[in-house]
Amino acid sequence: MCARYTLTKAQKDLLIRYQVKFPAGYKPNYNLAPTQKGLVITADEPDTAQLMHFGLVPYWAQSTKLDFSTLNARSEEIMGKKTFAPLITHRKTCLVLADGFYEWDKKTGETLPYRFVLKDRDLFAFAGLWSQWKDQFSGEVYRSFTIMTTQANETVGKVHAPKFRMPVILSREEEALWLSKDLGTPDLLNLCKAYPDELMDCYRVDKAVNATVIKGVINNRPELIQAIN
């Protein structure tokens, strides 16, 4: 599962890697949590990065109240889920830009956070799906996304036991395929595999990252990604 991640790069660095239009209001996030806005690039508008809410709200929902089961979409089960199947069928795919994600080791009885990063790239994208909800009375538009997951690899499994999940991290070549509207659904879902162990690393971070809000203020500080021990 992926319920918290990071995108700490400055906009100028993002522009070098993803040559797209960027929205006003982007700020680095060291502890991006559900309902907060993440940066995504959709198959419908591949030349534009957009800020959308983390945690998918289906178009048919009664409100934007988040059901936490829509933070992630299990790639092996997606075609049997009414929330996600139409999105993959109609190619509502997106790249969720990131540079790390958190998982928690609970084997000792404590809740110890680890940050996972890539060795070969300091900026990458999760495979995602997005949806647009519209209030029938006010006309308010709410765009949101979910992150695809797959079986955890060994690197993630050392912290998050192998029976658990990890986000689908796309290679640079796969990013273009995930946004392609010409790829068949089976081929699209075949991209949802664990990232190679030898290209991943992780390290302990302070338990301060466990909190998403402190005294009513969003907990988003550079210190949260610093390694300890």
Out of 2, 94, 192, 202, pick the active-site residue: 2
* End-to-end Cα separation, the chain, in angstroms: 25
Alpha carbons 120 and 115: distance in angstroms, whole number:
16
**DSSP 8-state secondary structure symbol assigned to residue 175:** H
The token pair at 32 is 């991006």
Alpha carbons 146 and 127: distance in angstroms, whole number:
9
- Rg of the chain taking only CA atoms, in angstroms: 17
* Beta-carbon-side half-sphere exposure of residue 41 (alpha carbons within 13 Å): 24
Out of 45, 76, 94, 103, pick the active-site residue: 103
Matching residue, tokens 């690197």:
155
| Contact present, 93 and 129 (Cβ < 8 Å) | yes
Q: Is 103 a catalytic residue?
A: yes
Q: Report helix, strand or coil for 127.
A: strand
- Of 99, 97, 121, 124, the C-alpha closest to 41 is 97
Q: Is 77 a catalytic residue?
A: no
Burial class (CB in 10 A: 0-12, 13-18, 19+), 21: exposed
Catalytic residue ranges: 2, 103
